[in-house]
Structure 1
Amino acid sequence: MSLEDKSHEGLASSAKGLGEENLDRLQQGLQQIARAHGRMQDLLDAVLLISRELDLNLVLHKIIDTARQLVDARYAALGVLGPDGEFKDLITSGFGADLTARLGGTLPHGTGLLGALVRDPRPLRVQDLAHHPQAAGFPEGHPPMSTLLGVPIRVRSTVYGNLYLADKTSGGAFTDDDEAVVTALASAAGVAIENARLYDRLRQATEEFQRRLLPEVPRLDGLELHAYYQPSTEAPRVGGDWYDFIRLPDRVPCLMLGDVMGHGVPAATVMSQISNMLRVIAFDQQEPPSRILHRLDTVLHELHGGPMATVIIARLEPEGTGRRLRWASAGHLPPLLVTPGHEAAYLHVDTGLPLGVDPDVPRRDHEQHLPAGTTVLLHTDGLVEQRGASLDAGMAEAVGIAATRVGEPLPDLVDALIQARAGTFEDDVALLGARIIPSPEESN
């Protein structure tokens, strides 16, 4: 046998020996690396997921859902702490997620293990809850749990709350790796919670600022007036819808309402420009409404490049015992009229083009007599828009509600229209209503 043959034989023998003794260990090591890499990728995905959210409620629910999935736990909860260190909320996920509801909203008292984590905010692992010396037991009706992993969530230097996970679906206790992954998630959760809270404060300040731009509705003889504004329930909760009311130099009440194309602070800025400009022009031009819209469109083109918006402007001129509604529209939804005879209908006419399209296109005036007791409603499309349904269907629903509520006070009629959306608005809503009050002689 040559030297080369002996060398090959030796290498083959070494490889055979390596495979027999260490192949299983090597395979296990590779599997551990793969699992660690997969868990790290899951953690990164979870961090990105919660970081994208700005709604605090959604952030909190995604934190517990992702934590439970990362460590394969059957149950997860996030106990939110108040400034006094007491539990003020408990959000749950997984098996027994309806715990709070079933227990009548009972929150932990902080006397057992959960309280220990509050007093000493460091990761806590318990392998046998029933026999732990600090365990205070579970309230009646609580689902059984045997193991626990608790990790504090900090927002800046303050403990915002604690993340609890119980009972791995595969059985056994929580591991060092489980604790490391959840601790890392808790660190990212603190940043996400702080961002959501900052955004919420900014949103509230912006929404309050926008509401302050809207005028108070005055009291006028012969008219009942009511206004309503509701920002979209989806971020950003600020936009370009507005309403306005002025009494012109000839003492005729004038209703104005509009909707700037787009959302967010840019739309709110344009809204402020248009509403202020419209108020001045309406007061100066007085009538007819079509001339006011034409002048407004021209000035907006000259000064601001012609921003897109829909606007409706309406005069309520005295006429006998009622009023004459004289209005013009720039691409806006028509007025919704509700008569004392429980009849409701939109006054469908040529609405014309929105502002910002062509300032030279003529606009038309429209008229309608309003008997005493009649209600006229102007609103933006957010009131009748609903995902998965046509605008016509939303308008038909509004007509039906208005017809059945005509005898109720005007605020109650408006509330009924708002509540039909079940608290969810895909767009801002501005609404301005006027009811012709019968004279005392007519009421008797």
Structure 2
Amino acid sequence: MRSVDGLLEIGFMRTVFDSLGTGVLVTDTTGRITACNPRAQQLLDRPPDQMLGHDMHGLLHRREDGSAVSRAECVLLEVLEGGRPAEGSDELFLRGDGSLVPVIWAATPLRHEGRAEGAVIVFHDFSLHRDAAEQTAAYLAALEGLTARLTMVAEVSTVLISTQDTPKMLDRLAGLLVPDMGDWAAIDVRAAEQTGEMQRITVRTLGGHGTAQALTGPLPPLPESTRSAALHALRSAEPVVLDADDLAEQPDSPLAAAHRELFDRLGGTCAVVVPLNTRRQVFGALTVARAGPDASYTEAEVFVLSDIARRAGLVMEAAELFEQQRHVAETMQRQLLTPLPQVDHLTMAARYRPAESVAEIGGDWYDSFLLGDGVLTMVIGDVVGHDLKAAAHMAEVRNMLRALAWDRTEPPSLIMRRLDEAMTHTSDAPMATCVFARVEGEEGGPWQLHWVNAGHPPPLLITADGHTRFLEAGHGPLLGLSSALHLGLGWPDARADLPPQSTLLLYTDGLVESRTRDIEAGLATLRRHAAALARRDVEEFLDELLVRIDPSGDDVALLVLRTPAAGVGAHDEAPPLHAHSPAASNRGAPGSRIEDTPVRDTSEPA
């Protein structure tokens, strides 16, 4: 007979069993439930009579879809068979109301006096923890997806600003969208706003480059009306999502048929068409498609594609404005770069190369004209700034210099002083650099250069035998500085002989300076190439010099003078116009051409 203490101990343990805040099941060696505490009954929504004596595995253990788990896969039964503790959090128990409850559990073999008596399973509702874990996993997945989208948008932004060549930019853009956003991508743009003509710029796929390339080229113009959902994107400037039913519709216009051909050749069960637009206009449309049988586009993906297309539209608008401003600036400059006079047997030539970027188009100019005393002038200058306003200021300074100089016999230093004062008191033009020179001499020579330099790179003199030197005398302050600040500075007159058959080159800093090369290195390069070209005629001299140096970035103006051989023209019976001839000021004949030398693509062999 058990002692009173033993009975009290049994009663205490029963109270502990019943009071545990976690479910407890006890099974025999076959897996039948022999005991369950009140918390287990509550968690499983089952009274004791629905559990005691029943096989635990068959009664409770289920899969996610509610189907039974085979006994061979039951990790809880392994405790009975192996005699080793186990635990987990991936199991589901069937509740009395038919619902499933995820449980976190621990099972321990039950032994009494050395014999296996069954197992004890302690478990708890894992729903909240599991929901939190699933929510965290969902957040992480969403964050990874967002990070991937942001990375792609960053790459897209880099592509959009990587080139001013719009077709090349759009081709790179389409390539970035495959395969992350679709199995293929195509971009159609308006080739002519007035006529509505369209052009397919690019088609990018995972493979089949030849097929994709064959789908590019001219497209039919926009129809007056259409039911096509894809063309609706161009009309409404809103994204359009196409599903299988939309793609099955028959096209109602040639342009819609051309769009449908993409799907016939490349496949596709869904697509998004987003306009390449700004607030002012629609430039074209981007189509991205997926070919999987269950493929679709989420609202977030449509938003990302719309944002990318909007960015592309802004870049296309900027490129259009760039071309307009570039054209205006170039036209303004070309109107001011007048034909060069030809005096005696002096030979002149000039070149102007516009900047590659509209941000660099500015105030470079050259000029040459005959003064009232018949003397030939040479001018090269650069107004501070790089925009259309700088080009306008250049025109203003250039015309002021002409007006101040043409009827005066003053030395260049006084002309520069008058120009500096005029810029300060009658103009809003900023500072400028300038070389103003008189080419003086009798018929047949010798010739002499009389000049001043207002902060400009020095002229380069190349003799017939290839010796070179920079004419560094005559330097003074920039125009627009001395008078404005009341500095009282001046420009010293300088003189240098121009030997027979020598070449004098005036140039702007774009020829010798860039973001990748300092001016000292540029001057050395100029000197070397000019020496090698000393015997070329002036036209070829300038052309070849530009090819060899290949300046990039800033605009460039060049003005070159070649003196004749000694005595040439001195005894001509009908000499050409002479610099000192009174008629020369009115009858200077046009000389060398004013030409935009094409910018060579440095990515290709010269």
TM range (shorter): 0.7 to 0.9
1:27 aligned to which of 136, 140, 162: 136
The Cα shift of 1:206 comes to 2.8
User: Which of 383, 392, 397 is 1:260 aligned to?
Assistant: 383
**Which shifted more, 320-329 or 241-250?**
320-329
Q: How many angstroms does 1:414 deviate by?
A: 1.0
Farther off after superposition, 38-47 or 368-377: 38-47
Q: Is the 8 A contact 1:311 1:330 kept in 2?
A: yes
Which structure 2 residues correspond to residues 102-181 of structure 1 after superposition, within 5 A? 107=216, 151=273, 153-155=275-277, 160-161=283-284, 163=286, 175-176=297-298, 177-181=300-304
Amino acid at match of 2:515: R
Q: Name the residue aligned to 2:477.
A: 353
Q: Which amino acid aligns with 1:436?
A: T
More displaced stretch, 57-66 vs 235-244: 57-66
The equivalences for 1:4-403 within 5 A come to 16-19=125-128, 22-35=131-144, 37-38=146-147, 41=150, 55=164, 57=166, 60-61=169-170, 64=173, 67-68=176-177, 71=180, 78=187, 80=189, 82-83=191-192, 90=201, 107=216, 151=273, 153-155=275-277, 160-161=283-284, 163=286, 175-176=297-298, 177-304=300-427, 307-319=430-442, 321-322=444-445, 323-359=447-483, 360-403=488-531
Q: 2:79 aligns to what?
A: none
List runs of 5+ in structure 2 lacking aligned partners. Answer: 1-14, 24-38, 44-100, 102-123, 221-227, 234-239, 245-259, 573-606
The 2-side partners of 1:389 and 1:63 are apart by 30
Normalising by structure 1, we get a TM-score of: 0.74
Q: Is the 8 A contact 1:326 1:368 kept in 2?
A: yes
Counterpart of 2:131, as a letter, is: N
Letter in 2 for 1:428: D
1:306 to 1:263, Cα distance in 2 relative to 1, 3 A: closer
The residue that corresponds to 2:561 in the other structure is: 434
Whether the 8 Å CA contact 2:156–2:176 is kept in 1: the answer is no
Letter in 2 for 1:333: P
- CA distance change for structure 1 residues 353 and 188 in 2, over 3 Å: closer, same or farther? closer
Partner of 2:257: none
The Cα shift of 1:384 comes to: 0.6
Tell whether the 8 Å contact from 2:171 to 2:201 is kept in structure 1 after alignment: no
Q: CA deviation at 1:79?
A: 5.4
Q: Which has the higher contact order (CA 8 A, sep 6+)?
A: 1
Is this contact kept in 1: 2:185–2:204, CA < 8 A? yes
Displacement of 1:368: 2.0
Q: Give 1:319 shift.
A: 3.6
Which amino acid letter does the alignment assign opposite residue 462 of structure 2?
A: V
Q: Tell me if structure 1 keeps the 8 A contact 2:397–2:429.
A: no
SS at match of 1:285: coil
Question: Do the aligned partners of 1:148 and 1:164 also contact (CA within 8 Å) in 2?
Answer: no
- Larger deviation: 344-353 or 290-299? 344-353
Alpha carbons 1:342, 1:404 under 8 Å: kept? yes
* Residue 70 of structure 1, CA deviation: 9.4
| SS of alignment partner, residue 125 of structure 2 | helix
CA distance in 2, matches of 1:388, 1:190: 31
> One-letter code of the match for 1:330?
A
* 1:286 partner amino acid: T
Identify if the C-alpha distance between structure 1 residues 17 and 135 changes in structure 2 by more than 3 Å, giving closer, same or farther: closer
SS at match of 2:332: helix
Letter in 2 for 1:341: D
Q: Which deviates the most, 335-344 or 244-253?
A: 335-344
Q: In the TM superposition, what is the alpha-carbon distance from 1:331 to its structure 2 partner?
A: 1.6
Cα deviation code 1:77-115 (max 9, x no counterpart): 645563588885745889889x69xx8x9946889xxxx
Instruction: Name the residue aligned to 2:65.
Output: none
Stretches of structure 1 that go unaligned for 5 or more consecutive residues are 127-131, 139-144
Does the 8 A contact of 2:360 with 2:553 survive in 1? no
Measure how far apart 1:303 and its partner are: 3.1
Task: With the length of structure 2 as denominator, give the TM-score of the two structures.
Answer: 0.57
Q: How far is 1:349 from its partner? A: 2.3
**C-alpha deviation, 1:59, in angstroms:** 8.5
Which residue number in structure 1 is paired with residue 536 of structure 2?
Answer: 408
Larger radius of gyration: 2
How far 1:275 sits from its partner (Å)?
1.3
Partners of 1:334 and 1:73 in 2: CA distance: 58
Q: Distance in 2 between matches of 1:73 and 1:431?
A: 52
Distance 1:174 1:418 in 2: 55
Distance (Å, rounded) in 1 between the aligned partners of 2:21 and 2:157: 54
Q: Please, which moves more after superposition, 28-37 or 243-252?
A: 28-37
Cα distance in 1 between the residues matched to 2:171 and 2:358? 18
Q: CA RMSD in A?
A: 4.6
CA spacing shift, 1:232–1:137, aligned 2, 3 Å: same
Deviation at 1:20, TM superposition (A): 5.9
Q: How many residues align?
A: 419
Answer yes or no: is the 8 Å Cα contact 1:254–1:315 preserved in 2.
Answer: yes
Which has the larger displacement, 36-45 or 321-330?
A: 36-45
SS at match of 1:284: coil
Q: Deviations over 1:275-330 (max 9, x none)?
A: 11111111133331122112222332333478322111111112462321111111
> Aligned-pair distance for 1:340?
2.1
Partner of 1:129: none
Alpha carbons 1:297, 1:356 under 8 Å: kept: yes
- The SS at the match of 2:377 is strand
Pair 1:340–1:205, CA change in 2 (3 A): same
